[in-house]
Structure 1
Amino acid sequence: MKKIWLFIVLTSLFLSCSDNERSNKNPYIPNYSVNLSVNMSLPAYSDLQFPSNGVIVSGFGAKGIIIFNTGSGYTAFDAACPNQELSSCVAMTIKGVNAVCSCDKTEYSLFTGLGGKEYPLKQYKVDVAGMVLHVYN
């Protein structure tokens, strides 16, 4: 019985790790190094204190970084359209709880990064320390 539980735990751990890695392999978006700190007490980022709000921080990643408050944590995605050539589209925009690609108007969930196309949004890690978010890869 112990061997079965160990197998289940190890299998679920392996699957959860591999899923996260797969979502960031995208032939259209290069792997730029991202190391960004966002202070939510500043006016430009104060909307992030409330669930279902997001901001775009330019100058990081391929086309900027979209940071979103899910209500139970934060997500961060590259603002480049994940299914288009990098040079063919401007940065995505935020529409409610979705990011919208300027080229094909595909909407991607800012909760999951999914949009019904081959590649989801390129995701970054987020750590929270008080009012400061650290976004990195």
Structure 2
Amino acid sequence: MKKILSIISILAITLSSCNKNDDDGITGNPNIPNAVFDTQGLINTNLPQFNQMQFPGNYVVLSSNYGINGVVVFFSGGEQYDAFELSDPNHQLNSCSLLTVDGIFATCSCDDGNAYNIITGSPKQGTSGQYGLTRYFVEANGNTIRVYNN
């Protein structure tokens, strides 16, 4: 009986030390707070404003109602969608840390001009700092694309 109680105690301590954020796309970046949101029902590729998401290589930018400064969703083809926060992960949140998307790069307006690939989330060569873009979860179901972080 003591052995079973010991195992249960160790298991309880181990489980209680786990953090929901360990695998939720936020990787300990002190510059990007956890944004809880869900676009459920918003992105329908049959709607004119999202029609381009039927074709690989296209993206849409969602307003700041989603994420912190907005979200970019990129369609690679098939069922492959990637979604990232539009806040520079290597700056504290401020007016210049908002990323602007042009082609496949999202760039901040701060003096260093950090830029990130919206397909992979990785920093463009010459970007200062250690963090890549904050990734959000994406599910595709028919013509509906759900982006969320909760």
TM over 0.5: yes
Residue 53 of structure 1 is aligned with which of 51, 58, 72?
58
Does the C-alpha gap of structure 1 residues 107 and 20 become closer, same or farther in structure 2, counting only changes over 3 Å? farther
2:76 and 2:107 map into 1 onto residues whose CA distance is: 17
- Where structure 1 has 5 or more consecutive residues not aligned to the other structure, the ranges are 1-18
Deviation per CA, 1:64-98, whole angstroms, max 9, x where unpaired? Answer: 11111122510000111111111242531211112
Contact 2:61 2:70 in 1 (8 A): yes
| TM-score with structure 1 setting the length | 0.77
Does the C-alpha gap of structure 1 residues 44 and 136 become closer, same or farther in structure 2, counting only changes over 3 Å? same
Residue 121 of structure 1 is aligned with which of 118, 133, 146?
133
Quote the residue 2:142 is aligned against: 130
Q: Sequence identity, in percent?
A: 38
Contact 1:62 1:80 in 2 (8 A): yes
2:86 and 2:119 map into 1 onto residues whose CA distance is: 14
User: Which amino acid in 2 is paired with 1:39?
Assistant: N
Deviation per CA, 1:89-125, whole angstroms, max 9, x where unpaired? Answer: 2531211112112223222111210005411101001
Choose 1 or 2 for highest CA Rg.
2
Does the C-alpha gap of structure 1 residues 133 and 88 become closer, same or farther in structure 2, counting only changes over 3 Å? same
Contact 1:54 1:94 in 2 (8 A): no
User: Which amino acid in 2 is paired with 1:102?
Assistant: S
Contact 2:25 2:134 in 1 (8 A): no
| TM-score with structure 2 setting the length | 0.71
Contact 2:70 2:86 in 1 (8 A): yes
- Where structure 2 has 5 or more consecutive residues not aligned to the other structure, the ranges are 1-21
Correspondence 1:97 to 2:108: no
Quote the residue 2:48 is aligned against: 43
The alignment of Structure 1 onto Structure 2 pairs a total of residues equal to 119
Quote the residue 2:7 is aligned against: none
